[in-house]
């Protein structure tokens, strides 16, 4: 059966389609039906079933004879270490950790924040929570204490599991002081923290609150898998929205299991036992779905890579890992290949490695520019598949269904809608546009299994952010085109979200930080085109009357402030002082025009602009920092 047949089969009978996919999951109580629509436009899947995620990701493989298979390969060029953990070891380690958490009072529904680098213990912590039905929320290591504090207050965790440190090239990331600072800032206090001490930095434990990862497991009873309802939240993952307050995306347990398992074969084309590698971070959705859960649920071997595409030690690292561990499907963000290409444009380092086990390369997380796809394809001789999705969906909205049937690649398009997604291009009034026309990308409700049913403690925000603009549809926040063959082309965000090195960031959040600087009266942050990171944030500052300190000093303070409040991951390095910001007569800042000026692309002077002369000033300010080039 080809893609068109599979998609048509889903369209004709979604209920049967998803119940069939659900057969690949071990249920405690099987689902009586797939979709629960009594609360539409809020939908749930498999709510009447009971199931455990950890059982499906770990124990069942041991039961079925895969115990000796490697579950996790940890490859850490940054520490010079490699380690393999079999499914049976993983089961034992996770059961002990879960037992220790249970002994300290963690149970079904309790939230646990995980703040860890790319070490297997991060996955073990996630799985231990899943084993108990506790709801984890992993926070990316590149966020500052303030961002961690915001998440602590939003999901009110009973426990936090952290490592003593993370490692960036040339720099130790001191997690423990960040954690202590966050707990101090937060109004909510966790009952206890579990600290995994890394040999690179042993952290000071706070008496009465912190326990050592190993010590607290001493003598505990291993925990069994606790069955939870199909609609029980598996985890909360915070992602950037329009404001500084992150959105807590809720992942429903049963749909997550069914959809991820389905995607491993149909999209990534791997069989159980194959090695699958997603070079991302457990702090992002790619890390949740395709470093931890997807490959493990499907019985694959997953690679946990602690390093960078370049500099650890060189631009051949990806090729080394692929060759050494016999990776069959490889997934990363385009920015990673841009970094490799910049260092090794002729792909000379590739010659040292045997990529014969590699079938295909998958890209997502940001727009895949044709140059990067073509270069990667030419260097590796492997097909490169772009696919498009979001934290909210947890798996591909559009992709190339290679495991069903590889479709012809159109470079620049993430290919076609996956079964489960009825993708529509809408005009401002919510009418469907004909093929080839640019509009807002929306998905007709219901979304498929695995996607977010709501935002944590914020159902109103969920409705307002996603369900209100186009009633009956989910608003993706992306704009794009569907061509006559049904291929999608993702062009830009329709909101203030930018994408820097595959990391989703809120310009609104950065503006909130800049506005808090005592000398800043008004500000705007835009994402300008960046040859390595896709986009880079640039801040414009209008100073309060009477401020006459050197502009460079204020700009530098603002850069520091964003790093302190949001974190290094914001990659906020440029802030310029301007007299005024371009606005419409009604006072709306014209950020879109500023982006076009910065990128040197054509723009139409908006009829509503208050004073067109301001644009020249903006251009001058941008040229002074190397943007808005002419010609
Ligand atoms: N913990 C702490 N700090 C982190 C971090 C982490 N897990 N990840 C990144 N940072 C820091 C970096 O050290 C850098 O700090 P600096 O300003 O002191 O140099 C800053 O955050 C910005 O990071 P990044 O934007 O990633 O830039 P980079 O120059 O370090 O690396 C790439 C550029 C392209 C090599 C890198 O972004 C990369 O490997 N991307 C892969 C794509 C990816 O993983 N995407 C995730 C979604 S799929
Ligand atoms: P995140 O939630 O961090 O995964 O970011 C999701 C956003 O990244 C999407 O809404 C898009 O704006 C962008 N994105 C992800 N994948 C792609 C892709 N393949 N092509 C274009 N944009 C993408």
The DSSP-derived string for 179-212 is HHHHHHH-SS--SEEEEE-BTTBPPPPPTTTEEE
Break the chain into its structural domains and give their ranges.
Answer: 3-307+387-444, 497-624
Burial 292-328 (b: 16+ CB within 10 A, else e): bbbbbbbbbbbbbbbbbbbebeebbbbbbbbbebebb
User: How far apart are the C-alpha atoms of 489 and 617, rounded to whole Å?
Assistant: 34
Structure-block tokens of residue 10: 């889903």
**Which pLDDT band, with edges at 50, 70 and 90, does 451 fall under?**
very high
- pLDDT tens-digit readout, 133-184: 999 999 999 999 999 999 999 999 999 999 999 999 999 999 999 999 999 9
Q: In the predicted model, what is the mean pLDDT of residues 607-625?
A: 92
Determine whether the shortest distance from the Cβ of 386 to ligand 2 is under 6 A.
Answer: yes
Q: Is the pLDDT of residue 607 over 90?
A: no
Q: In the predicted model, what is the mean pLDDT of residues 86-106?
A: 98
Q: Which of 50, 347, 474 is nearest to 226 (CA)?
A: 50
Determine whether the shortest distance from the Cβ of 367 to ligand 2 is under 6 A.
Answer: yes
User: How far apart are the C-alpha atoms of 188 and 210, rounded to whole Å?
Assistant: 16
Determine whether the shortest distance from the Cβ of 168 to ligand 1 is under 6 A.
Answer: yes
**Residue 412 region by backbone torsions, left for phi larger than 0, else alpha for psi between -120 and 50, else beta:** left
Ligand nearest to the CA of residue 237, numbered in listed order: 2
Ligand 1 center from residue 379 Cα (angstroms): 24
Determine whether the shortest distance from the Cβ of 296 to ligand 1 is under 6 A.
Answer: no
Taking the CA of residue 168 as reference, the ligand 1 atom at the shortest distance is 13
**By alpha-carbon position, which residue is closest to atom 21 of ligand 2?**
367
Q: What burial class does residue 604 get, using C-beta atoms within 10 Å of its C-beta: 0-12 exposed, 13-18 middle, 19+ buried?
A: exposed
* 213, 218, 222, 228: CA torsion to nearest 10: -40
Structure-block tokens of residue 188: 């909510």
Q: Is the pLDDT of residue 103 over 80?
A: yes
Taking the CA of residue 563 as reference, the ligand 1 atom at the shortest distance is 17
- pLDDT tens-digit readout, 492-521: 999 989 999 999 999 999 999 999 999 999
- pLDDT tens-digit readout, 546-582: 999 999 999 999 999 999 999 999 999 999 999 999 9
- In the chain, the percentage of residues whose pLDDT exceeds 70 is 100
Mutation test residue for ligand 2: of 246, 287, 367, the one with most atoms within 8 Å of CB: 367
Mutation test residue for ligand 1: of 571, 572, 573, 574, the one with most atoms within 8 Å of CB: 571
Q: What is the pLDDT of residue 619?
A: 95
Return the higher-pLDDT residue of 604 and 487.
487
In CATH terms, the fold of domain 3-307+387-444 is Rossmann fold (3.40.50)
Taking the CA of residue 363 as reference, the ligand 2 atom at the shortest distance is 19
Q: Is the pLDDT of residue 80 over 90?
A: yes
Determine whether the shortest distance from the Cβ of 534 to ligand 1 is under 6 A.
Answer: no
Q: In the predicted model, what is the mean pLDDT of residues 592-610?
A: 92
Determine whether the shortest distance from the Cβ of 477 to ligand 2 is under 6 A.
Answer: yes
**By alpha-carbon position, which residue is closest to atom 28 of ligand 1?**
501
- pLDDT tens-digit readout, 8-44: 999 999 999 999 999 999 999 999 999 999 999 999 9
Taking the CA of residue 239 as reference, the ligand 2 atom at the shortest distance is 2
Ligand 2 center from residue 60 Cα (angstroms): 33
Mutation test residue for ligand 2: of 240, 285, 287, 365, the one with most atoms within 8 Å of CB: 365
Taking the CA of residue 570 as reference, the ligand 1 atom at the shortest distance is 22
- pLDDT tens-digit readout, 38-67: 999 999 999 999 999 999 999 999 999 999
**By alpha-carbon position, which residue is closest to atom 7 of ligand 2?**
390
- pLDDT tens-digit readout, 388-443: 999 999 999 999 999 999 999 999 999 999 999 999 999 999 999 999 999 999 99
- In the chain, the percentage of residues whose pLDDT exceeds 90 is 97
- pLDDT tens-digit readout, 323-380: 999 999 999 999 999 999 999 999 999 999 999 999 999 999 999 999 999 999 999 9
Taking the CA of residue 173 as reference, the ligand 1 atom at the shortest distance is 2
Taking the CA of residue 335 as reference, the ligand 1 atom at the shortest distance is 34
Taking the CA of residue 285 as reference, the ligand 2 atom at the shortest distance is 4
User: How far apart are the C-alpha atoms of 362 and 331, rounded to whole Å?
Assistant: 4
Structure-block tokens of residue 617: 């000033």
Structure-block tokens of residue 213: 């990862």
User: How far apart are the C-alpha atoms of 470 and 139, rounded to whole Å?
Assistant: 31
Ligand 2 center from residue 312 Cα (angstroms): 26
Residue 460 CB neighbours (<10 A): 9
The mean-pLDDT minimum among 305-319, 454-468, 607-621 falls in: 607-621
Ligand 1 center from residue 258 Cα (angstroms): 31
Determine whether the shortest distance from the Cβ of 319 to ligand 2 is under 6 A.
Answer: no
Structure-block tokens of residue 229: 């309802």
**pTM to 2 decimal places:** 0.97
Instruction: Mention every residue, 6+ apart, whose C-beta is less than 8 A from residue 474.
Output: 442, 443, 445, 447, 466, 467
Ligand nearest to the CA of residue 166, numbered in listed order: 1
Ligand nearest to the CA of residue 119, numbered in listed order: 1
Pairing label, strands 159-163, 111-115: parallel
Q: Is the pLDDT of residue 104 over 90?
A: yes
Ligand nearest to the CA of residue 567, numbered in listed order: 1
User: How far apart are the C-alpha atoms of 256 and 22, rounded to whole Å?
Assistant: 10
Do 43 and 36 touch, CB atoms closer than 8 A?
A: yes
CATH superfamily of 497-624: ANL, C-terminal domain (3.30.300.30)
Determine whether the shortest distance from the Cβ of 504 to ligand 2 is under 6 A.
Answer: yes
Packed helices 3-12 and 14-22: angle between N→C axes, nearest 10 degrees: 110
Structure-block tokens of residue 98: 């879960």
Q: Which ranges in 223-369 belong to alpha helices (H)?
A: 253-266, 285-287, 294-297, 317-324, 334-343
Q: In the predicted model, what is the mean pLDDT of residues 584-601?
A: 94
Ligand 1 center from residue 219 Cα (angstroms): 39
Determine whether the shortest distance from the Cβ of 247 to ligand 2 is under 6 A.
Answer: no
Helix (H, G, I), strand (E, B) or coil at 490: strand
**Which pLDDT band, with edges at 50, 70 and 90, does 631 fall under?**
low
Taking the CA of residue 567 as reference, the ligand 1 atom at the shortest distance is 21
Determine whether the shortest distance from the Cβ of 173 to ligand 1 is under 6 A.
Answer: yes
Determine whether the shortest distance from the Cβ of 336 to ligand 1 is under 6 A.
Answer: yes
Determine whether the shortest distance from the Cβ of 72 to ligand 1 is under 6 A.
Answer: no
Q: Name the average pLDDT for the chain.
A: 97
Do 292 and 321 touch, CB atoms closer than 8 A?
A: no
Do 167 and 173 touch, CB atoms closer than 8 A?
A: yes
Ligand 1 center from residue 446 Cα (angstroms): 35
Determine whether the shortest distance from the Cβ of 335 to ligand 1 is under 6 A.
Answer: yes
Q: Which of 207, 195, 127 is nearest to 164 (CA)?
A: 195
Q: What is the pLDDT of residue 275?
A: 98
Determine whether the shortest distance from the Cβ of 363 to ligand 1 is under 6 A.
Answer: no
Q: In the predicted model, what is the mean pLDDT of residues 93-97?
A: 98
Taking the CA of residue 117 as reference, the ligand 1 atom at the shortest distance is 7
**By alpha-carbon position, which residue is closest to atom 23 of ligand 1?**
569
User: How far apart are the C-alpha atoms of 213 and 58, rounded to whole Å?
Assistant: 21
The DSSP 8-state label assigned to residue 119 in this structure reads S
Q: What length is written for the chain?
A: 631
Determine whether the shortest distance from the Cβ of 420 to ligand 1 is under 6 A.
Answer: no
Q: Is the pLDDT of residue 243 over 90?
A: no
Phi, psi of 192 (to 5 degrees): -155, 160
Instruction: Mention every residue, 6+ apart, whose C-beta is less than 8 A from residue 402.
Output: 266, 267, 268, 269, 360, 383, 385
Residue 605 CB neighbours (<10 A): 10
Helix (H, G, I), strand (E, B) or coil at 171: strand
The DSSP 8-state label assigned to residue 606 in this structure reads P
């Amino acid at each position: 059966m080809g893609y068109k047949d599979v998609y048509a089969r889903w369209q004709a009978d979604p209920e049967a389609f998803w119940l069939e996919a659900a057969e690949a999951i071990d249920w405690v109580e099987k689902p009586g039906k797939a979709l629960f629509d009594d609360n539409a436009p809020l939908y749930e899947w498999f709510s009447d079933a009971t199931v455990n995620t950890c059982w499906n990701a770990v124990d069942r493989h041991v039961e079925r004879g895969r115990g000796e298979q490697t579950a996790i390969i940890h490859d850490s060029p940054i520490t010079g270490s490699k380690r393999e953990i079999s499914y049976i070891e993983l089961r034992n380690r996770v059961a002990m950790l879960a037992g220790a958490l249970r002994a300290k009072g963690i149970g079904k529904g309790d939230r646990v924040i995980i703040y860890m680098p790319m070490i297997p213990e991060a996955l073990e912590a996630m799985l231990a929570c899943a084993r108990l039905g506790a709801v984890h929320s992993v926070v990316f290591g590149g966020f500052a204490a303030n961002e961690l504090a915001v998440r602590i207050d939003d999901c009110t965790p009973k426990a936090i599991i952290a490592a003593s440190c993370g490692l960036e090239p040339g720099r130790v990331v001191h997690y423990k002081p960040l954690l202590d600072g966050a707990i101090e800032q937060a109004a909510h206090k966790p009952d206890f923290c579990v600290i995994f001490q890394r040999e690179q930095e042993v952290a000071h434990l706070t008496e009465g609150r912190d326990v050592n990862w190993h010590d607290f497991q001493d003598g505990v009873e291993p925990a069994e898998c606790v069955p939870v309802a199909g609609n029980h939240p598996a985890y909360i993952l915070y992602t950037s929205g329009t404001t500084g307050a992150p959105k807590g995306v809720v992942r429903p347990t049963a749909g997550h299991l069914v959809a991820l398992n389905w995607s491993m074969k149909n999209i990534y084309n791997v069989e159980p036992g194959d090695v699958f590698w997603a070079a991302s971070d457990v702090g992002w959705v790619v890390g949740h779905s395709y470093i931890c859960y997807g490959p493990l649920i499907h019985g694959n071997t997953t690679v946990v890579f602690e390093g960078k595409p370049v500099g650890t030690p060189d631009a051949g690292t990806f090729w080394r890992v692929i060759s050494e561990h016999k990776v069959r499907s490889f997934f990363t963000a385009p920015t990673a290949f841009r970094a490799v290409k910049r260092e090794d444009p002729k792909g000379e380092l590739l010659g040292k490695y045997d990529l014969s086990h590699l079938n295909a390369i998958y890209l997502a997380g940001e727009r895949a520019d044709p140059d990067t796809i073509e270069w990667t394809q030419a260097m590796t001789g492997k097909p490169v598949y772009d696919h498009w999705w979001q934290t909210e969906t947890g798996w591909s909205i559009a992709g190339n269904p290679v495991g069903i049937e590889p479709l012809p690649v159109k470079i620049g398009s993430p290919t076609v809608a996956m079964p489960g997604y009825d993708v529509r291009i809408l005009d401002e009034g919510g009418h469907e546009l004909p093929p080839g026309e640019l509009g807002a990308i929306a998905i007709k409700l219901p979304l498929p299994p695995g996607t977010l049913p709501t935002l944590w403690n914020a159902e109103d925000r969920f409705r307002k952010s996603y369900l209100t603009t186009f009633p009956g549809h989910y608003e993706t926040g992306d704009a794009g085109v569907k061509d006559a063959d049904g291929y999608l082309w993702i062009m830009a965000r329709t909101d203030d979200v930018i994408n820097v090195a595959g990391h989703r960031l809120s310009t609104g959040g950065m503006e909130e930080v800049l506005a808090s600087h005592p000398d800043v009266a008004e500000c705007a942050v835009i994402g300008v085109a960046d040859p390595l990171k896709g986009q880079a944030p640039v801040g414009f500052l209008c100073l309060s009357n009477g401020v006459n300190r050197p502009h460079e000093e204020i700009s530098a303070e603002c850069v520091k402030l964003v790093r302190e409040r949001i974190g290094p991951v914001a990659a906020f390095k440029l802030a310029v002082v301007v007299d005024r910001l371009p606005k419409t007569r009604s006072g709306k800042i014209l950020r879109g025009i500023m982006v076009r000026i910065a990128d040197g692309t054509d723009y139409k002077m908006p009829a509503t602009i208050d004073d067109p002369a301001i644009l020249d000033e903006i251009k001058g300010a941008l040229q002074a920092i190397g943007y808005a080039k002419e010609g």
